[in-house]
Structure formats: C-alpha cells, structure tokens
Structure 1
Amino acid sequence: MKLGTISTLSLALLAAGTAQAQDTRLLIGSTSASSSQYGYFVALGQLINDTVPEVSASVAETGATMDNLRRMQRGQVDLGLVTTNIIQHAWNGTQEFDGAPQEAPLLWVYSPAPQNVVVREDVGIDSLADLAGQRFNPGIRGSATEATAESVFATLGIAPDWVRGSTTDVVDMIKDNRVGGYVKSGAGSRLDASSLDISTFTPIEVISLTDEQVAMIEAEMPDISVVEITEAGEGIAPYKTWSFALAVSATPEMDEEIAYQITKAAMQDETVQRNALAALAEYDLTELTMQYGTVPLHPGAARYFEEQGVEIPERMRPAQ
C-alpha cells in the first residue's frame, strides 16, 4: 500500500474515532447564582456528567422559569428549571402564554416551593395590604416567582410599586433600605440563602396571608396551593403563603434515551442532589413528581417511571 493511501486511511479512521467519541452537549437553564436553586442545577450537571454515558452538561445562569422556557423555544437550552404552574400555562397556552402554547415535557419534580414575602422588620409592613404603593420586588425578572406574585397581588387588589432586578441587585437594595422587601422561593420549607443573607445585615420577617386572602387565592387561582410554614428559620413566626413546585423540563426534541438516562440518574441518586439542597432529604422525588406534575412527561422519563412500576396519572402521560 502506498504511503499516501495509508495516510489518507489513517486520517479517515482518526476522524471517525473522534466523531464517535464526541459527547452530546446539553445546556441546563437554571436561575440566579445567588439562589439556593442554582446550586441544585450545578449538582445536576455534575450528576449527568458523572453517570450518563456520552453526555456532557453545563449550567447557564438565567432568569429562571420564564427565561428558561423562552430559551428552550429558541433552542438555546435543552433542559432546565420550571415551575408546575407556569409550565401548565405554557402547555395550555393560557395567561402569560395566551395564544402561544409551548410544549416542554416534564422530567421530574424536585421540591415544593413556598413563596415567601420577605420584608425588612423596620419598614412597618405588617400585612400584604400594607405593601400597596411601597417599593417592593415581586421576584427575579423573568421568573415564575415574579409572574405568580404579580398575579396573586392583582387577585388580592394590592398594587405595590414594583422594583425589578436580579436577586443579587434586589438583595443589595433591601440591605440598603432602597426596597422594603421581595418575594422569594423557599428552599423547601426553609428560607432561601439570599433571604438568610439579608437577615445577617438587618432583621427580617415573612408576611402571612390572612384567612380572607387565602380564600380568595383558593377560589381564583387553582393552579397554586396555599401552605402553612411553621419552621422557616430562627425567629420567623409561622405564616401562610402561596406555593407551587419546582421541576425539571426538557425540550420536546431531547433524545428519548438521553431523557431516560438523565431521569434514571436523578431518581437513583441519594447524595449529589441532597448535598446541594438539603431539603431534598425530606422528599421522594418520584412521589413528588406524580403528586405535583401538571403536564405530560417526556417519553424517556415516562419509560423510566413505567419500568419502576409507577402508576403515571392520566394528565402526565405522553401523547401517543
């Protein structure tokens, strides 16, 4: 065989081997880096890289649910943080997605997310009604927290002076007394890391819904729940607030086998995710998923749960 032929053959084999060795690259949409939830998605990326063959995942800091769904639709992220209420709106083309439905099939639900109305103790806010006309942040821009808080306050007929910004910016504004407070998802039943950060600089309190407000929310907003929190943190009195659940969704285009392997890795993991978000030790992710899921599962995720003998609710079965 001639030298030129050997060289050409060697290059061809090298190229083929390189192509086979290339991993499928996935980008995970998360939330603000100052949020407790960001650490969860960093851990999820690590778990995928360590356990799912031929897949390489990295994490992008984003504006959370609404931002992640927009990025999924544009093909900029492959999976990411969503909330069970907003993903339901997207799937059905209602509220924020009126006339523009978007499918982002569910992989799993990983945590309930009480929405905490956190204020500086010294601003004299004793009820949600006191926030009317006050400078207040409804949640990180583009997040489910923001969209849901705006809907809740509108339902209750309360109109704060909304201040927008990232979690980092808003935390600084609260510390400097430029903003009275914000709405922030809890880390399970505990306060989020950013709320604890604020409390190291100034005393805080969490405002409770009144019984009348609870009744209004339950009547007008069936896509969210009202929960009572008794142990949010040291010095925080028990309170009632609205809640949804945090979940991981993917694009419809995600390969079924990859979705299967990622779901399997997350459901079978007992350390990585819990080390990132201690509240997960309280939950069984499979049970949470079947309890709180509001849209169909990705076919790969559904296959995993079916193999485990899990009964998938009708509302969550993938379209055939």
Structure 2
Amino acid sequence: MKRIGALAVAVALVPLVGVWSAADAQMRNLAMGSTQTSSSHYSYFVGAAKAINLLVPELNVTVVETGATVENIKRMQKGQLDMGLVTADQVYLAWRGQETWKDAPFEGIRQLWLYSVSANYVTVREETGIKSIHELTSKKFTPGIRGSAVEKGTETVFGILGIKPDWQRMGTADTVDAMKDKRIVGFAKSGSGFFLDASTMDIATRTALRTLPFSEEDVKKVRAVRPYLPWIKVPAGSIKGLGEFWTTASLAFVAGTKSMPADLAYKVVKAIWEGQEHQPQAVMGAAYRNPRGTIEHALSPLHAGAIRFYRELGLKIPDELIPPEAK
C-alpha cells in the first residue's frame, strides 16, 4: 500500500472512526494504524487485518501506514484511528499522563493484544570504528523512525546515560538511504524478534554493520530511573559475531480505546488469536500463539472485550489491568 493511498483511506474514515452507535452491527470500516511499509512489522498488520476480515465478516479493517506508536496514540486520541500499533511503555505513559504525555493524557486507551516481542538494536556502520554506544556523542545518529516508540526510548535511555548524539530525524526509507550514503553513522530500530529487520538487512547488502550492546551497568543505571522501560537479553548467535547481550525491547501491542464496544473488541481479539496462520510468525516471535503474553507484558488496562476473551481461555486478569468499565 502506498502512503498516499493509505492516508486517503484514513481521511475518508475520519467521520466514522470512534463513533459507535446502534448501526455497529452493520458492516463497519475500521482504520488500524501500523508503521512504515518498509518495516517488517507492516507485514504483520496486513496479516492481522486479513485474519479479522475473514473471521469477522461484518468488519472491513484497513491498514494505515503511519510513523508507528507515538503517532498512532495521538491519532487514536483524536479519533482518526480505531486501533493501532503501540508499545507497552508508551501506552503506560499516555494512560498515566507522564513524560511526553503530561500535557495530553489519554486515560481512555486500552490494550487489545500483544503481537510481538522484539529486540531494539543500535546499529552503526562498521567502517566508523565505533564499538560502544558511549562513542556516539556528537555523531550523526537516527534514534528511530520519526514518531515511533523506539525514537522516544532511545532519546530517554541515551539521555540517562549521558550520550548526546547529533540527532538526525527521519523515516525508515530515508534512514536506509542515509546509511548507504554515509550521511549518518548509525541508527536505532526494532528488530524482527531477535533478528535484524528487513530494512536493516537491506542496508547490510551494501554496508558492513556493527550492533552495539548495552552493558550490565548501563541497564542498571537506566532501570534505577525508568523501571518501566523493557529490556531483553538477546541470545548468543542471534546477531552474527555476538554472544549474549542486553538491549532495550519493544513489547508491541495493538491498542484501541474504551469507546470501542466490548462485543466488537471481543470479536477482533478472538479473530486475531484464532487466525494466527495469517500473521507472520517471524515478526511475532515469542508472542506467536501466546495470548498469555498479553497479560504478562501489559502495563496498563486491557479493553473490556479483550478481558472477556482472555477469561474464556481460563487466564486470570490482574486487578491493575481491569479498567473501571470492566468491573
């Protein structure tokens, strides 16, 4: 899907998004925010939409290309998207009205399902000679695609560690070109599970790359200040030439708003877990066929309709994940 076409669809749906009435039982168009088409995660959303459309015939879900988490949350808040890609930490902050969201809290955001557990990688051109994240100060570096949770997370983590790059803000395609043209030394990007994503592999066809790990001391220092930020230990061999190492993680969810009717959210979530064969396993990683992961990794309330489905599976929902409307 080309960006112009996707945005045109999104604009056309604005009058319908977030407006739920007695006509809900009829065919509904839902706009689902994703990320940029060059990302491996975009393919997940194409598969997720297919699963929902096949298993819930009264719905027509359209995938909308966006800048990922932060943009998706803002657009859901404005009623421009019905649901979309988010990360656990950014939803938590938006729900609590903290940091980026202190002036625009979003109490009504609700988690639907976890779709991916991925490592976030700090990658540099090998020829730069950079071997540590602490050598990135003053270097031209992209913190993540513009509007993504990785961008915000990288800025936060580097700030705590006293690393001050010359930030270069851009989308995925521009980052790929900038790396190939040697205009930036490196970038941060979520992987595909524990492996490098498609855009990073594209760069690797032209430029030798090095992945930079975080030390135990780095992790401890960040956790002392931002305990909600997720970290993951990457298994040895996941990245060529590296043993086991620490890096930040993306706990990627799809969220909606509490205004979505519970029965509709229930059908959507049920379709996702019963239609896993339509969703790329490589992107989902540890989340594949693992609905329990939603409950284990969520940091903020689940949607009432999602809670109904997970309870039907026999899963216990912690009190802190149950919103007022579901009690």
The alignment's TM-score, normalised by the length of structure 2, stands at: 0.88
Distance change >3 Å, CA 222–CA 244, structure 1 → 2: farther
Change (3 A) 1:166 1:21: same
Distance 1:269-1:21 versus aligned 2 partners, 3 A rule: closer
Taking the TM superposition and a 5 Å limit, the aligned residue runs for 1:1-320 are: 23-102=27-106, 103-229=108-234, 230-236=236-242, 238-274=244-280, 277=282, 279-280=284-285, 283-320=288-325
Deviations 1:76-107 (A, max 9, x none): 11001000000000000001101421021010
Gap regions ≥5 residues in structure 2: 1-22
Aligned partner of 1:111: which letter? Answer: S
Tell whether the 8 Å contact from 1:111 to 1:288 is kept in structure 2 after alignment.
Answer: no
Q: How far is 1:22 from its partner?
A: 5.1
CA distance in 2, matches of 1:290, 1:134: 39
Secondary structure of the corresponding residue to residue 105 of structure 1: strand
Matched residue type, 2:170? G
Contact 2:44–2:283 (CA<8 Å) still a contact in 1? no
**Distance in 2 (alpha carbons) for counterparts of 1:282 and 1:304:** 17
- Counterpart residue type for residue 172 of structure 1: D
CA distance in 2, matches of 1:154, 1:105: 29
The farther-off stretch of 86-95 and 285-294 is 285-294
Instruction: Give SS of 2:80's match.
Output: coil
Q: CA deviation at 1:60?
A: 0.6
- The structure-2 alpha-carbon separation of the partners of 1:287 and 1:274, relative to structure 1 and needing over 3 Å to count, comes to same
**Distance in structure 2 (CA, Å) of the matches to 1:163 and 1:85:** 23
Q: Secondary structure at the match of 1:285?
A: coil
Structure-2 change in CA distance of 1:282 and 1:66 (3 Å): closer
How far residue 204 of structure 1 moved from its aligned partner, in angstroms, is 0.6
Q: Could you tell me how far 1:37 is from its partner in structure 2?
A: 0.6
Number of matched pairs = 301
CA contact (8 A) 1:31 1:81 kept: yes
Alpha-carbon displacement from aligned partner over 1:193-251 (angstroms, at most 9, x marks no partner): 11111111111111011222121012111112332212334445543211240000012
Amino acid at match of 1:149: T
1:39 shift after superposition: 0.6
Q: Which has the larger radius of gyration?
A: 1
State the alpha-carbon separation in 1 of the partners of residues 182 and 35 from structure 2. Answer: 24
Distance 1:86 1:185 in 2: 15
**Counterpart of 1:82 in structure 2: which amino acid?**
V
CA distance in 2, matches of 1:21, 1:278: 32
Amino acid at match of 1:83: T
Q: Aligned with 2:279: secondary structure?
A: helix
- Percent identity at matched positions? 40
- After TM superposition, the structure 1 stretch with the greater mean CA deviation from structure 2, 191-200 or 236-245, is 236-245
Q: Structure 2 vs 1, CA of residues 151 and 282 (structure 1 numbering), >3 Å: closer, same or farther?
A: closer
Amino acid at match of 2:66: T
- What corresponds to 1:4 in structure 2? none
Cα displacement string for residues 111-150 of structure 1 (whole angstroms, at most 9, x for unaligned residues): 2222100111111111011000000000011110001100
- Asked if structure 1 preserves the Cα contact closer than 8 Å seen for 2:115 and 2:284, the reply is no
**Amino acid in structure 1 at the alignment position of 2:150:** T
State the alpha-carbon separation in 1 of the partners of residues 179 and 280 from structure 2.
30
* Counterpart Cα distance in 2 of 1:61 and 1:20: 25
Change (3 A) 1:238 1:177: farther
Q: Which sections of structure 1, spanning at least 5 residues, go unmatched?
A: 1-18
CA distance in 2, matches of 1:140, 1:72: 19
User: Does the Cα contact within 8 Å between 1:108 and 1:285 map onto a contact in 2?
Assistant: no
